Structures are given as C-alpha cells and as structure tokens.
Amino acid sequence: MHLFESISNNGIGFGTFRVWSALLGLLAATDFAWGADMSVPAAPVPLTWTGAYIGVNAGYSSTTATNSVSGGGLNGSGSQAIPGFVGGGQVGFNYQIGSIVLGAEADFDGTTTTKSIAAGPMSGTEQIPWLGTLRARAGIAFDRFLVYRTGSAAGGEFVYNLNLPTAGVVSTAVTSGALTAGGGVEVALSDSWSARAEYLYVDTGTINAAFVGPTTVTSRAQDNIVRAGLNLRLPIAW
C-alpha cells in the first residue's frame, strides 16, 4: 500500500497532510531564524582619558616659612610652620596613548595660611592669600583609574607685616614664582565625572620680603599641600 493511500485510509487527507507539513516547515525556519538573531552583547568600550576638563579642589596646606633679617644692626633668622586651608579650581586636558596619559593643568587656590613669625629682633605676621600652579602631568591609566606625577611652575602672593626695632611696623606684599612637584590618583566616576586625591610640594626659594634702609628681610616658603578634587569632562572633540 502506498504511503498516501495509508494516510488517506487513516482519516487524514492529502490536503491536510500538506498543510501540516507547511506549518512544521515554517516553525522550523522561524526557530532557526530566532536562534540566529540572538547576538552576544557587545563588550563595554574602555574609558579614554583624552579630553579637556574643569573642576574644583579643596584641602590642607602646611607651609614652613624661614625668615631672615640682616643689616642696620639687625641680624637673626627663624622658622615657623604656617598651617591653613586651600580651595579653588582647575582647568586642564589629557591625551591618552595606549595606557600612557599626558596632559597639562592650571589651578588657582585661595588660602587661609597666616601665622605670627619671628627672626632675631624682628617679629610680625606672614600670610599667603593665594597660590597658583601651571603643571605638566604624566600618568598610567588602568581603565578607570589614573596614577600620575605632576610638576613645573607655581606662584603666589606673600603678605608681610613686620615689626623692626629700627623702623617700626613695615607692611609689604610680594608676588613670587616657585617650583612645584607632586602626584596623585584619579578615578572616573562616570564617562563625564572623575574624583582625585593629590599631593603638591611648592618651594619659593629666597624671596626679598622687605628693604628698610640698610636692613634686608628675606623669606622662603616650603609648602606641602594635600587636597581632593572633582573634575567634569568637557564635550570638546579632539
């Protein structure tokens, strides 16, 4: 007995058989297509540190001020620690090559650094109203973590109110350059925001603080700054 005759004899018509065959074929093709369309999710794109940014910072400053007075019968020196808080803003840019990140940054901070000082027969106060730096940065990126070193030039204002036995109270304000070096760690909180912790050492060298007749007052500030910062990446194309 032929196959079609057997099917017909069992109550299944040839037309019905063709319908069921078509349905089974359609289901098989649909299942195959469904499986083919199930793609593996793409791997996340690694973060790049390339780009410009702006931010804010705040922290603590501990300055060692060494002052000397000489001439006019006045001679002496003294050294004092001048603590204070710092806070301000920064702007910079990074360029990443592989895992190496190169960049530059400028910042400007106001400070509360002020202290009574003494040098031999001279007494008075020293204050640092503001401090700024312009620095190169070089670091290594571990995806969202950046470890870097930084350094170059700095500058600040130094205000002196001095009491000299031979001249009374003398007030001066000096803007001086300095050298700075340090380092830090920065972590990307998102594609736009990052936070960091940073240490900077600033050294002014010798500053001519005041000249009063034959008397000269010199000063040197060595500053240790620890601060935290928050940066926002700017949408600038490179």
Domains of the chain, by residue range, sit at 3-37, 51-233
Euclidean distance between CA atoms 24 and 72, whole angstroms:
112
Q: Are 68 and 237 in contact (CB under 8 A)?
A: no
pLDDT score at 39: 58
Euclidean distance between CA atoms 231 and 194, whole angstroms:
5
pLDDT score at 32: 47
Mean pLDDT value across residues 58-69 = 95
According to DSSP, the residues that pair with 77 across neighbouring strands are: 68
Euclidean distance between CA atoms 2 and 234, whole angstroms:
79
Instruction: State the pTM of this model.
Output: 0.79
Higher pLDDT, 166 or 3: 166
Euclidean distance between CA atoms 217 and 65, whole angstroms:
13
The length of the chain in residues reads 238
pLDDT score at 46: 74
Higher pLDDT, 127 or 27: 127
Q: Which residues contact 225 (CB under 8 A, 6 or more apart)?
A: 59, 60, 61, 86, 131, 182, 199, 200, 201, 202
According to DSSP, the residues that pair with 152 across neighbouring strands are: 135, 180
pLDDT score at 166: 85
Highest mean pLDDT among 9-18, 26-35, 139-148: 139-148
Q: How confident is the model at residue 1 (pLDDT cuts 50, 70, 90)?
A: very low
CB atoms within 10 A of CB 97: 8
Q: How confident is the model at residue 11 (pLDDT cuts 50, 70, 90)?
A: very low
Asked if pLDDT for residue 203 goes beyond 60, the answer is yes
Mean pLDDT value across residues 83-98 = 96
pLDDT tens sequence across 216-238: 999 999 999 999 999 999 986 55
Euclidean distance between CA atoms 221 and 73, whole angstroms:
25
Handedness of CA 226, 142, 55, 51 (dihedral sign): positive
Q: Which residues contact 194 (CB under 8 A, 6 or more apart)?
A: 53, 146, 186, 187, 188, 230, 231, 233
pLDDT score at 115: 87
Q: Are 175 and 198 in contact (CB under 8 A)?
A: no
pLDDT score at 47: 84
pLDDT score at 40: 58
Angular region, 67: left φ>0, alpha ψ -120 to 50, beta rest? beta
Asked if pLDDT for residue 38 goes beyond 80, the answer is no
Euclidean distance between CA atoms 29 and 84, whole angstroms:
75
CA atoms within a 13 Å half-sphere pointing along the CA-CB vector of 184 = 23
State the architecture of 51-233 in CATH terms. Answer: Beta Barrel (2.40)
Alpha-carbon separation of residue 108 from 14, 27, 122 (angstroms) = 89, 70, 32
Average pLDDT, the chain: 86
pLDDT score at 238: 53
pLDDT score at 105: 98
Tokens 């008075």 belong to 124
Mean pLDDT value across residues 180-193 = 96
- Report phi then psi at 22, rounded to 5: -65, -40
Tokens 């040197």 belong to 220
